[in-house]
Amino acid sequence: MNIHEYQAKDILNGYFIPVPRGRVALTADQVERAAKEMGGHCVIKAQIYAGGRGKAGGVKLVQHPEQAQEFGKELFGKKLITPQTGPEGLRVRRILIEEAVEIAREFYLSITLDRESSRFCLIASAEGGIDIEEVARNSPDKIHLLNIDPFTGLQPFQARKIAIALGLTGTVCEDCVELIQNLYRCALEKDCLLIEINPLVETKAGWLMAMDAKINFDDNAMFRHREYPDMLDYSQLDPLEISAGKYDLSYIKLTGNVGCMVNGAGLAMATLDVLKEFGAEPANFLDVGGGSTREKVAEAFKIILQDCDVRGVFVNIFGGIMRCDVIAQGIIEAASEVQCRLPIVVRMDGSTVEEGKKLLLESGLNVQIGENLGDGASKIVAMLLKKTVA
Ligand code: GDP
Ligand code: MN
């Protein structure tokens, strides 16, 4: 789960990591008032669930409250497109106004869960800022990595090694050691998949400060943090993702034109791979989970059809706990309700598979049965081709 920069900074502040004084605004007038409060000289920052805002025109240093208001007007409602938003971009609904800080040096500091070692990994670089991706690409030796042993935790000497590698000396170096240890504590206690401070700066006055912050919570730990869902900004999410969430379904948007309904993450991955192998591009996938009901399947199918990129639907379900005739009924119910004429291919197997197939073939829908995964994938590709030719 993502949160905004200002929320991430609040959390970091709670762990004694200094952040600039700031305020969140929902209107251009509020931007102006906040800018006045900061003394006019401030930074205006679009709050979206993506980074790369600086280069996309979402961050601006201003000198006067009127200038702040003007930029606020320009930003509110605007879609920012950055390398992290995808081509559709994200709309700005909240703006953070912060006191301007005089920066002496910019660093990169993050902590993330490394799936390969199953450990938290600390990443630091003396060349932080908006070009960090290029640093990683062109001079990976400038990036320092540290895998943290969960048993011993992060040791002060390890944090000091990183601080020294960043070129820090004296009191700032000691501040950095403390900051790194607090960052690790925050990642652990708040169940973060990622905390990224880019840039972490040394101010001209000689203090360390998190100028930008990104936090991503681990969804699997949600039960430990009942307050997290209230932090969500729904304007930043795909509406279909929100409706899927209501029915406890996981919906992932992709860029192609075949909607996919599957059960289980492993089957979803295999389905996407095989579709690609046959030359199809998935528009999304929706995982209906294990013990689903007819209503849930129907809701899932309707969500897939609401994705306006979908030109055909591929269903790949193994009826273990779930019976195939129930799946078929759910599909028929949903497709009839929204009068779907799109090509549908259903590949299913397991309990009551024959009854399920029979129901589908007699439904009057534009549906074909895939005998196996490959057969199903080739059928949906053929049906889509026929449609484009016709
Ligand atoms: P991102 O592009 O989405 O990562 O947005 P950031 O919050 O990192 O802002 C982009 C850049 O703006 C930073 O790397 C800083 O160089 C600059 N910046 C942000 N806040 C301030 C500030 O208070 N003073 C100055 N001088 N620069 C700032
Ligand atoms: Mn940044």
Runs of H (alpha helix) within the chain: 5-14, 28-37, 65-75, 132-138, 156-165, 170-189, 239-246, 265-277, 294-306, 324-337, 353-361, 373-389
Among residues 275, 261, 267, 264, the alpha carbon closest in space to that of 305 is found at 261
The SS3 assignment for 216 reads strand
- Cα of 41 vs centre of ligand 2, distance in Å, is 20
Domain 21-100 has CATH 3.30.1490.20: yes
Give the C-alpha separation, 61 to 106, whole Å: 16
| Angle (deg, nearest 10), helices 156-165 and 170-189 | 120
pTM of the model: 0.84
Give the C-alpha separation, 29 to 35, whole Å: 10
- Cα of 47 vs centre of ligand 2, distance in Å, is 12
Our answer on whether the CB atom of 101 is closer than 6 Å to any ligand 1 atom is yes
* Cis amide leading into 150 (omega within 30): no
Give the C-alpha separation, 280 to 69, whole Å: 47
The b-or-e profile of 278-287 (16+ CB within 10 A means b, else e) is: bebebbbbbb
Yes or no: say if 98 and 38 are a contact pair by the CB < 8 Å rule: yes
- Cα of 4 vs centre of ligand 2, distance in Å, is 12
- Other C-beta atoms closer than 10 Å to the C-beta of 103 total 14
Q: What is the pLDDT of residue 65?
A: 96
Candidate from 106, 110, 211 with most ligand 1 atoms within 8 A of CB, to mutate: 211
pLDDT digits 0-9 by tens, 131-185: 888 988 998 999 999 999 999 999 999 999 999 999 999 999 999 999 999 999 9
pLDDT digits 0-9 by tens, 372-381: 999 999 999 9
Our answer on whether the CB atom of 42 is closer than 6 Å to any ligand 1 atom is no
Q: What is the pLDDT of residue 247?
A: 87
Our answer on whether the CB atom of 51 is closer than 6 Å to any ligand 1 atom is yes
The SS3 assignment for 92 reads coil
Q: Output the CATH code of domain 1-20+102-237.
A: 3.30.470.20
Our answer on whether the CB atom of 94 is closer than 6 Å to any ligand 1 atom is no
Per-residue pLDDT tens digits of the chain, which is 390 residues long: 999 999 999 999 999 999 999 999 999 999 999 999 999 999 999 999 999 999 999 999 999 999 999 999 999 999 999 999 988 899 999 999 999 999 999 999 999 999 999 999 999 999 988 888 898 899 899 999 999 999 999 999 999 999 999 999 999 999 999 999 999 999 999 999 999 999 999 999 999 999 999 999 999 999 999 999 999 999 999 889 888 988 888 899 898 999 999 988 899 999 999 999 999 999 999 998 877 788 888 999 999 999 999 999 999 998 877 889 999 999 999 999 988 899 999 999 988 999 999 999 999 999 999 999 999 999 999 999 987 665
Pick the CATH number of 238-389 from 3.40.50.261, 2.40.128.130, 3.40.50.300, 3.30.110.30: 3.40.50.261
Among residues 100, 103, 87, 84, the alpha carbon closest in space to that of 45 is found at 100
Our answer on whether the CB atom of 211 is closer than 6 Å to any ligand 1 atom is yes
Catalytic machinery residues:
108, 196
Give the C-alpha separation, 2 to 216, whole Å: 5
Q: What is the pLDDT of residue 40?
A: 94
Among residues 253, 215, 252, the alpha carbon closest in space to that of 232 is found at 215
- Cα of 135 vs centre of ligand 1, distance in Å, is 17
Give the position, in ligand 1's atom list, of the atom nearest the Cα of 100: 23
Protein residue with least CA distance to atom 11, ligand 1 = 54
Give the position, in ligand 1's atom list, of the atom nearest the Cα of 130: 14
- Per-domain residue ranges of the chain: 1-20+102-237, 21-100, 238-389
Cβ-proximal residues to 361 (8 Å cutoff; 6+ apart), any chain: 367, 369
